[in-house]
Structure 1
Amino acid sequence: MSEYVTVDVFTDKPFGGNPLAVFPDARGIAEADLQKIAREFNYSETTFVFPPDDPAHTARVRIFTPTDEIPFAGHPNVGTAFVLGGRGEIFGKPVGAQMIFEEKAGLVHLDLMREDGRTVGAGFVAPQALTIGKVVALDAMAGCLSLQPSAIVVDAHEPCIVSVGLPFAVAELAGLDALASASPDMAAFTLAGRAYWHRDDRFATFAYVRTGKGIEHLRARMFAPLSNIPEDPATGSACAALAAYLCSLDTRTDMTANIVIEQGIEMGRPSRIEIDVEKRGGEVERVRIAGRCVPLMQGRLAIAA
C-alpha cells in the first residue's frame, strides 16, 4: 500500500493556503489509478513521485488535477519539495537543500526554506521562459468572470494568455469589489476555451487587483471550472506568469522585482505567494516562486498496489 501526505501550501496556518496530496513513492501505484486517485482527493492537484530518469536529479514528479495530468504547476512543486525535505531522503538518497524535479514542462530547480533545522517551505524557478499568447476579447473575459466589461482595467494591458509553464488568461480588475463579485460562468469558459486555447479544459482565468503602489502587492483569484476547479486558493504558476508579464511591460531594460500576491481570501483559505523576477536586456530571465507550508494529514491507500 502506498503512503500519502497532505499539506497546505502557501500558508503558515493549518486549513489555509492550497491543499495538496503527495505520494512520496508512487512506484507501486498502477498507471490507470493515478487519475482516479487524484479525482478521489478532488484537490486542485495531487502529485506522484517517481525515481528520476537521470540519477543526477532528485525525482520525477507527475501532477494531476481531478480531470487530467498537467505539465507543471506552482503549489504542487512547493508542497512536494516540502514533503520530501521533511523525510530527509528519497529513493535511498539523502535530500539536500537543493532539488531538481523532472516534469513534463521541463526541469524544475527548487530550494528548501529551513528555520531552526526544520523545513518550513520551498521555492522554485519557473521551468520555461515567459510566453505571451492571444489577446482575449473584453466581452469574453468578462463573461467568464460574470462581470461587466467595464470591471476590467486595460490601462496596463488587455486580457491575454501568458505562461511560464502553464497558460492562464490574466486580467486586471477595477478594484476589490469587482474581484469579490467575480464568479466562473461555465458556458462562457467553454466558448472562450474553444476560441483562445487549443483545449477548452486548459482554459483558466487569473484576475487580479493592485493593492499597493506599482505591482509589488497584488490580490488575485483563479478560476478553472473546466478542470473541475471552480476556484483555486493559491496558484503559483499563475502568479509567476503574471509577475513575469507585468515586469515585461515595464519600460526599464534591467530590473528586479519582489512581488507578493494574496489569494484565496474570498474562499476563507488565505494564501501568500512570493515571487522574485529578474529582467535583463529587456527580457525576463528568471522567475522564482516561494511559500511556506503546513503538514496536515497522512495515511495509506487501502487498495492493493
Structure 2
Amino acid sequence: MKRRFDQLDVFSAQPLKGNPLAVVHGADGLDEATMAAFARWTNLSETTFLLPPDDPAADYRVRIFTPFAELPFAGHPTLGSAWAWLAAGGRPRESGSVVQQCGVGLVRLRRDGARLAFAAPPLRRSGPLEETLLARIARGLGVPAGGILHHQWVDNGPGWCAVMLGSGAAVRALQPDWALLKDLKLGIVGAQRDGEDTAFEVRALVGPGGFEDPVTGSLNASLAQWMIGAGLAPSSYVAAQGHALQRAGRVHVHAEAGTVWVGGDVAACIGGEVDL
C-alpha cells in the first residue's frame, strides 16, 4: 500500500545541517515488524509512523523507531512528526498547539514564531552520577576528573546521563574512547565563550556501536531542565550541536511557568510515497 512519506532535516532551517528524520503517514495497518524493518532500511537515527490517536486528548499518535529498537520518546522525531502532520493538512483540536501521543504519554507542542517547540517531558531519573560511573566517563572522554564541573542523571526516557565541561571548545575537542563508553547514552555540554552565536555546545554519544547523534531534542530537553533548575543556565538560550559531524544544529530553549520548551526549525528534503 502506498503511503505519504517525508524526509526532513530537524533543528536546522537549512537542509543537510540538522538531524534527518523519516516520516511515514497513515501508518495504521502496518505491523510492528514492518515498521522496525523499514526503520532498519532507512538507517536513520529515527523513523516515525503517524497513526490515529488512542487518547481523545491527542491530535495524532506516533511510534518512533531507531534501526535497533522502538523509543518511548525522542525530541527531533517529535518536532519533525508534528511538522509533517501539519504540512499534510493535520488540524489540531486546539488552535496554536498540537498534542502528540507517544510512548511516554501526551506531549504538547506549540508554535514559537516560525518554529515548533515541545514541552519537555518529566525526568524519569535525576540526581548525581555514581563515582565509579563518573570515573569511567572521565576516562572515556580523556579528561581529568576535575575537568568535569557538574554531572547528573537526566533520563526522560532514552536513559541519558550528562556531564558539563569547562567550555564549548573542550566539548568540541573530545575524542571519545568508545570501548569505555559503549553502553552509555551520554550528553556532554559546555558553555560557549563570549562572542559565540550560541550559549552552549552539546554532544550526544550513544552506545552501543559508537554512534554520535547530530542534534538531540530529548537530551537538550533534559539538559535544560537540569541546568536551568540548578542555576547553570539562563531561562532562555540557544544550544549548538553537531560540530563534530559537520552539522550546525540549533536548539532553542525557553523556560516559562514551570515548563521547559524545546524548539527548532525543520527543513523539508524529500517528499513522495513509500510502498509498505
- TM-score in terms of structure 1 length: 0.80
Q: Provide the aligned C-alpha RMSD in A.
A: 2.6
Q: SS of the residue aligned with 2:54?
A: coil
Contact preservation (8 Å) 2:135, 2:145: no
Matching residue of 2:206:
224
Alignment of 1:83-232 (within 5 A): 83-89=84-90, 96-113=95-112, 120-129=114-123, 131-133=125-127, 135-136=129-130, 137-145=133-141, 147-150=142-145, 152-154=147-149, 157=150, 159-190=151-182, 193=183, 203-212=184-193, 217-226=199-208, 228=209, 230-232=211-213
Alpha-carbon distance in 1 for matches of 2:219, 2:146: 20
How far is the alpha carbon of 1:150 from its aligned partner?
Answer: 4.7
How far is the alpha carbon of 1:108 from its aligned partner?
Answer: 0.2
Amino acid at match of 1:268: Q
Please list every run of 5 or more consecutive structure 2 residues that lacks an aligned counterpart in the other structure: none
- TM-score in terms of structure 2 length: 0.87
Alignment of 1:1-305 (within 5 A): 1-89=2-90, 96-113=95-112, 120-129=114-123, 131-133=125-127, 135-136=129-130, 137-145=133-141, 147-150=142-145, 152-154=147-149, 157=150, 159-190=151-182, 193=183, 203-212=184-193, 217-226=199-208, 228=209, 230-250=211-231, 257-278=235-256, 285-302=258-275, 305=276
Contact preservation (8 Å) 2:118, 2:263: yes
How far is the alpha carbon of 1:148 from its aligned partner?
Answer: 2.8
How far is the alpha carbon of 1:56 from its aligned partner?
Answer: 3.3
How far is the alpha carbon of 1:133 from its aligned partner?
Answer: 4.2
Alpha-carbon distance in 1 for matches of 2:146, 2:34: 43
How far is the alpha carbon of 1:24 from its aligned partner?
Answer: 2.0
Of stretches 169-178 and 266-275 in structure 1, the one that deviates more from structure 2 is 169-178
Q: SS of the residue aligned with 2:244?
A: helix
Amino acid at match of 1:295: A
How far is the alpha carbon of 1:242 from its aligned partner?
Answer: 0.9
Contact preservation (8 Å) 1:256, 1:278: no
How many pairs does the alignment contain? 270
When residues 248 and 220 of structure 1 are mapped into structure 2, their CA distance, relative to the original with a 3 A threshold, is: same
Matching residue of 1:282:
none
Kindly report structure 1 stretches of 4+ aligned residues shifted beyond 4 Å.
93-96
Q: SS of the residue aligned with 1:35?
A: helix
Of all paired residues, the percent bearing the same amino acid is 31
Please list every run of 5 or more consecutive structure 1 residues that lacks an aligned counterpart in the other structure: 115-119, 194-202, 280-284
How far is the alpha carbon of 1:33 from its aligned partner?
Answer: 1.1
Amino acid at match of 1:152: G
